[in-house]
Amino acid sequence: MSLVKISAGFQFAHLYSRLFFLGCFIASFLYCIITRQVPSSYMFILQLFLFALAFKRGKEFIKDWALFFVFFILYSQSRGLVFQLIKYTRLNIHTDTLLIWEKALFGEIIPTIWVQQYVADVPTVIDYFALFIYLSFFWLPMTFAFYLWIKNKEVFKRFLTAFALLSFMGLLTYLIFPAYPPWMASDFGLLPPLKRHLWNLNIGQWALSIFSGSNYNPIAPLPSLHAAWALLTSYFMAKVFYSRLGILSHFFYIYFILVSMTIIYSGDHYVVDILAGVLYTIIAVILTNPEIGKMRFMAKKRQTT
């Protein structure tokens, strides 16, 4: 057998393997669409890995992402452990502290209550859109991180480091400051009944079953990591694409605004939770990017002559 035929055989084998992994990647997404589900965090990580395998970058993916994935698994499991620890040690839970702070900012008609007067009695297209935004809190940042991994590994590492630090800061706060979110305050009579249509949708019920698992912590509203992760992603997106879009890159902050509006609409967070998330994000970015004012990101360094 000639070397040419052997070489051609290897090329076909590589092509078939790439098509196989790419097919697995597409099939996993089609499965989610057909069953009207959204991929869990772990499943989405697997999908990213399959995509990397399809382009012969599997080993590189494991090398660059492994440490973050180990951290994220530990973080995910620790959320439930924090809740169990709070129950076991009977730590003080702030039942109305956040509500008091919210009323200090907005008066008796807080945003959570104000928005309820515009919520329909039955789910509408708004609820489906809000649920999509709500559930994007992990897959969108990770998709963006995957893009950074392909385009610029320096920024990729900074983004994931800030993401991990932000998550750890939030987890620590949940331990020392457990509190009632709006929906729980409503359940205990501190607020009027809330219409939470997002979780009455089929996809919403499936997602709620995931969130209510062993790693779930219902008394962890401050800071809002939904808002914090969205802001971190919006910030890096604006910086990364500034060289191409200029001032228009700031439109990426619309994602943060949409997430913030959604978690208020759903009754999962107060505005003070979002403000705390903003503060935590600023701290995480500064700590992981000490030369933040000089960050070059995607822009090419101009050569001086």
pLDDT digits (tens, 9 = 90+) for 11-47: 434 444 455 545 554 555 455 544 445 455 666 777 7
The encoded tokens of residue 179 equal 């509190």
Name the helix (H) or strand (E) containing 148. helix 125-151
The encoded tokens of residue 48 equal 């990213």
State mean pLDDT over 50-69. Answer: 83
Phi, psi for 123 (deg, rounded to 5): -60, 140
- Greater pLDDT, 214 or 130: 130
CA distance 207 to 229: 19
Over the chain, what is the mean pLDDT? 79
First to last CA, the chain: 57
> Could you give the percent of the chain with pLDDT greater than 70?
75
- Nearest CA-CA partner of 221 in 72, 108, 112, 77: 112
Name the pTM for this structure.
Answer: 0.82
- Looking at residue 3, its pLDDT comes to 37
Say whether pLDDT at 51 is over 60: yes
Q: What's the Rg (C-alpha) of the chain?
A: 22
- Greater pLDDT, 89 or 301: 89
pLDDT band at 233 (very low <50, low <70, confident <90, very high): very high
State mean pLDDT over 199-227. Answer: 70
- Looking at residue 172, its pLDDT comes to 94
Segment among 109-123, 132-146, 203-217 with least mean pLDDT: 203-217
